[in-house]
Structure 1
Amino acid sequence: MNQETPIEILRPRMLYEALADAIREQIFKHELAPGEPLDEFRLAKHFVVSRTPIREALKVLASEGIVELQARRGCFVARLTWEDVLKLFDLLELLETFALREGVKARAHFEIGDSLQRSLGDAAGNAYLPELFERLVGKLRLAFGPLFDSPEMQASERLWAQLSQSISSGTDVENALNQLSAHCESRRGVAYGFFLRADQRLQERRGSALIEKQRKQAEQSETFKAALI
């Protein structure tokens, strides 16, 4: 986050909402890494705004569980453990199973559009499902960063394309549920490897940042010593 990024281009939305979107995107890319402190002044300078809309944007992200506001300590990007990730996958499986059952029951026409989550909500006839899916997926993006978009992590769309016939015909529901269950179990195994890779990347980044900080401190020390001579 080296260059200033004026946020005015995102108007006419409320400024704090646009800022929340921009900060959220940086978090999902791990440009702002899990556990990293979020300094209001630094963010305000980066986006060329005052601190007030930054503060409101961070409150929005805190309500989503993406950042944590800690009394007398400040704001930090939330950090998830593997146990947290497993709980998210458990909830995701529950929602997917519900969407599948409801879709088959209604014999809904199912076709994956721009958003798998919206398509599942339409198939289940439940307008609240996409929002729940989105919140869960957002937390998973927080955990995995850019690796979440790897083809291996996006196998769900291929599965749902295969299940579309069962949903549309309203038949073979048990086989469809078994396929979904097997997919969810496989997804956890694949995700564990990617979780370790994401964590390793963060560790390497923190190590590089520490080395750079020590280098700058050494340079400042040498400059100070030279000034005394």
Structure 2
Amino acid sequence: FGARWFDEDWNAQFDTEAWANTTNFYKDLMDESGPAGYASNGFNENLSMFQQGKCGMWIDATVAASFVTNADDSTVADKVGFALAPDTGLGKRSNWLWAWALAIPAGTDNEGAAKEFIEWATSKAYIELVASEEGWANVPPGARQSLYDNPSYQEVPFADMTLKSILSADPLNPTVDPVPYVGVQFVAIPEFAGFATEVGQEFSAALAGQQTAEEALEKAQALTTDAMEAAGY
């Protein structure tokens, strides 16, 4: 819908038409077609509903693909289709990209061992080990480019769409209009965790019917502005 957290001068943007359109569209869609109590559902709840055939469309991380196509857990394993995250024709999709990574704390006493583990856990040998023990659908999907050149992995129903999703998510250029921050749906600054949690709580309250979308956006604008001013932006 063209929304963004901040403009190029770090001004919060929740008072824009793009955010109003985004929030109202989502709330109306979920009120009309979503499950009861959707405002309190997280990844595990949505996964369970999808696996039981009680959710027709679920937009989330590519890593979930192996869970919904595993016949041991999913009643719809052979009926699942995959598509890129949606957009509204403005040139940017609603990709979900956080920061899954293996990091080594600066104060560790075991830096060498940690490096060896990371090298092993992202190696071709580890991928082949997982494939032999758990099947190709369960190998880590984002560790190696070469995985997507492997004929065996190319047979996995979601392999091609996963690669396209990874390549289309651009943390350096995430929004329709320019922004000063790095991150697709988050902002890579220390203050983000604090004000984003509060913003999320306001949106959840709106989705639960405790306030209107307009009230949630007004509060989000105010609290984010206060947080950024306090941080010196």
Please state which band the TM-score falls in when normalised by the shorter chain.
0.3 to 0.5
Of the two, which has the highest radius of gyration? 1
Q: Which of the pair has the greater relative contact order for Cα pairs under 8 Å at 6+ separation?
A: 2
TM-score in terms of structure 1 length: 0.33
Q: Judging by fraction of residues, say which structure has more helix.
A: 1
Q: Judging by fraction of residues, say which structure has more strand.
A: 1
TM-score in terms of structure 2 length: 0.33
